[in-house]
A and B are shown apart, each in its own frame.
Chain A
Amino acid sequence: QSEVTQAPSASGTPGQRVTISCSGSSSNIGKNYVFWYQQLPGTAPKLLIYRNTQRPSGVPDRFSGSKSGTSASLAISGLRSEDEADYHCAAWDDSLSGPVFGGGTKLTVL
Chain B
Amino acid sequence: QVQLVQSGAEVKKPGASVKVSCKASGYTFTSYDINWVRQATGQGLEWMGWMNPNSGNTGYAQKFQGRVTMTRNTSISTAYMELSSLRSEDTAVYYCARGSPGYSYEFDYWGQGTLVTVSS
A residues adjacent to B (C-beta < 8 A): 2, 33, 35, 37, 43-47, 50-51, 56, 88, 90, 92, 96-104
Residues in A neighbouring B66, C-beta threshold 8 A: none
Of the candidates A47, A50, A101, which one forms a contact with B47 in the assembled complex, judged by CB atoms under 8 Å apart? Answer: A101
| Distance between Cα atoms of A104 and B95 in the complex (Å) | 16
Closest chain A CB from B25 CB (angstroms): 16
B107 touches A37 (CB 8 A): yes
A47 touches B107 (CB 8 A): yes
The 0/1 profile, CB within 8 Å of A marked 1, for residues 56-97 of chain B is 000101100000000000000000000000000000000101
Closest chain A CB from B1 CB (angstroms): 12
A44 touches B95 (CB 8 A): yes
Residues in B neighbouring A103, C-beta threshold 8 A: 43-44
Known interface pairs A98-B47, A100-B47, A101-B46; A47-B106 also in contact (CB < 8 Å):
yes
Of the candidates B95, B97, B103, B111, which one forms a contact with A33 in the assembled complex, judged by CB atoms under 8 Å apart? Answer: B103
Write the chain A residue with the least CB distance to B102: A51
Going nearest first, the 3 A-B pairs with the smallest beta carbon separation are A99-B105, A103-B44, A44-B110
Measured as residues with beta carbon below 8 angstroms from the partner, the interface class of chain B is: 20 to 34
The 0/1 profile, CB within 8 Å of A marked 1, for residues 21-57 of chain B is 0000000000000000100000111110100000000
Some 9 contacts from A to B, beta carbons below 8 A apart, are A33-B106, A35-B107, A44-B111, A45-B95, A90-B105, A98-B47, A99-B105, A103-B43, A104-B43
Closest chain B CB from A73 CB (angstroms): 18
| Distance between Cα atoms of A97 and B110 in the complex (Å) | 21
Residues in A neighbouring B62, C-beta threshold 8 A: 96
Task: List 12 additional contacts besides A44-B110, A90-B105, A101-B47; criterion CB under 8 Å.
Answer: A35-B105, A37-B45, A45-B37, A45-B95, A47-B106, A51-B103, A51-B106, A98-B61, A100-B47, A101-B46, A103-B44, A104-B44
